[in-house]
Amino acid sequence: LSELEALMERMKRLQEDKEDEEASQEEMATRFEKEKKESLLVINGGICAFPVLFSFDDEIVSTDVSRYIEDPGFGYKDFARRGEDHLPTFRAQDYTWENHGFSLVNRLYSDIGHLLDEKFRMVYNLTYNTMATHEDVDTTTLRRALFNYVHCMYGIRYDDYDYGEVNQLLERSLKVYIKTVTCYPERTTKRMYDSYWRQFKHSEKVHVNLLLMEARMQAELLYALRAITRHLT
């Protein structure tokens, strides 16, 4: 099978398995922890500390971006140290954008919550219902896996989501690309971009970038707004 056909086959099989039998809460929690720990092994610049993951250390962007920031030492840091047995988890059910963040941010800045919510929903639902040359494809499962994997990298877990879908739908080179674009965008290279979903259209891969950026923004907002809520109460 080609990369595209294999991906579509996995999507179909996941849907069939979900209809037959759902994973237990314990199984879903275990799968989340596995994905969360693996995401920490994809480190700065796409250099991977785990041998089965892709390595792009031979092609690092040399563009000097320090001119655009006031603090040259400012940058992304993983939410936990690699090697720790018990990594912190932000349970989305305890503080969600829909039930908590949206109303708080509207209180702090009138109507901004509506604008942000519209932006999140528009990008999350953005699809041509195509996968490369295939038309009339329901890409919901794939878009959900991309969005939830970004939140997983930030330690955010959805109790009702089976993270086994992430492992089956997102290949290793794509995970490296997601981590780099989301956490170290200045180090993204064309080789990374070309390494995944080779049969897909550029417009479809641009959709991926938009989804990654909105997922990151929502994750950051959830942490910030939860901290503000705790301070206010």
Contact 106, 114 (CB under 8 A): yes
How does pLDDT run across 67-85, given as a tens digit for each residue? 777 776 777 777 666 666 6
Residue 213 is encoded by which pair of tokens?
């950026």
Quote the pTM value. Answer: 0.86
What value does the mean pLDDT take over residues 47-51? 36
Of the candidate ranges 19-23, 96-100, 144-148, the one whose mean pLDDT is the lowest: 19-23
pLDDT at site 46: 42
Q: pLDDT tens-digit profile of 184-213?
A: 888 888 999 999 999 999 999 999 999 999
The identity of residue 214, as a single letter, is E
| The pLDDT value given to residue 21 | 74
Average pLDDT over residues 44-72: 49
> pLDDT by residue (tens digit) across 134-159?
999 999 999 999 999 999 999 999 99
**99 vs 19: which has the higher pLDDT:** 99
Quick one: pLDDT at residue 149? 97
Alpha-carbon distances of 230 from 216, 222, 225, rounded to whole Å: 21, 12, 9
Containing H/E element for 113? helix 112-124
163's CB contacts (< 8 A; 6+ apart) are: 28, 31, 32, 34, 35, 148, 152
Identity (one letter) of the amino acid at 12?
Answer: K
Q: Sort strands 90-91 and 156-157 into parallel, antiparallel or unpaired.
A: parallel
The pLDDT score that the predictor gives to residue 214 is 98
| 102-114 mean pLDDT | 94
CB 167 within 8 A of CB 148: no
3-class DSSP state of 115 = helix
Residue 181, pLDDT > 80, answer yes
